[in-house]
Amino acid sequence: MAKKKVMREMDFSTEEKIKNAARVVFQKKGLAAARTRDIAEEAGVNLALLNYYFRSKEKLFEIIMYETLTNFAKGITGIFNDENTTLEEKIGLLVEKYLEMLTNDPNIPMFILSEIRNRPKDLLEKLPAKSVLSNSVAINQFGEMAAGGEFSEKDIPHLLMNLLGLTVFPFVGKPFIMALGGLDELEFNTLMQERKKMIPLWMKTMMSVK
């Protein structure tokens, strides 16, 4: 029994090591340019071992993409469905969560955007993002505010796009922003920390414009 347990733990450890390496390689190169040899070298394993755990590059990519999208969407679901927070509080929590996540892993937005552009149906069908979002507490709160005359219901998609753009775009345009502003990594990350307070204030102002 002890030997089987050790073997299971080794299998899990090796799989995770390969997946972590694949995540790095795929985020840098995308599916088309990445090679299984690149992933094996990043993971520090031989190619035969990688093929033993994951039969193909495409299968491994599918797992990585699904996990990335799931983790990215999971935060939205939890925050947007919290019945104990106001819409304003939800926006603040969402901004804080994603700015922290993207600061730690700034390649995620380009990875997701490039693959959604290349394979939109394959990826979006695996995540019920539309149904989760449309049935969320946050969307109901947006609707209640619109019904109360605080803004028009047709403004809701614009507000959501603004929230997404204000949070994600700095990481999509990070190299350009750093070059334009003459920023180093620390200075860029400091700006992102400042945005945790500024974006909710900007969103509050936008929601008050009639």
**pLDDT tens series, the chain, 210 aa:** 443 433 444 455 888 999 999 988 988 887 888 899 999 999 999 999 998 888 888 888 888 877 877 777 777 788 888 999 999 999 999 999 989 988 888 877 877 777 677 766 666 666 656 666 777 898 888 888 888 887 777 888 898 899 989 999 999 899 999 999 999 999 999 999 999 999 999 999 988 865
Q: Which residues of 15-49 are buried (b: 16+ CB within 10 A; e: fewer)?
A: eebbbebbbbbbbeeebeebebebbbebbebeeee
Q: Domain spanning 1-55 has what CATH number?
A: 1.10.10.60
Global model pTM greater than 0.85: no
Beta carbons of 43 and 26 less than 8 angstroms apart: no
**77: number of Cβ within 10 Å:** 15
- What is the pLDDT, as a whole number, of residue 8? 46
- What is the pLDDT, as a whole number, of residue 125? 66
So where are the chain's domains? Answer: 1-55, 57-207
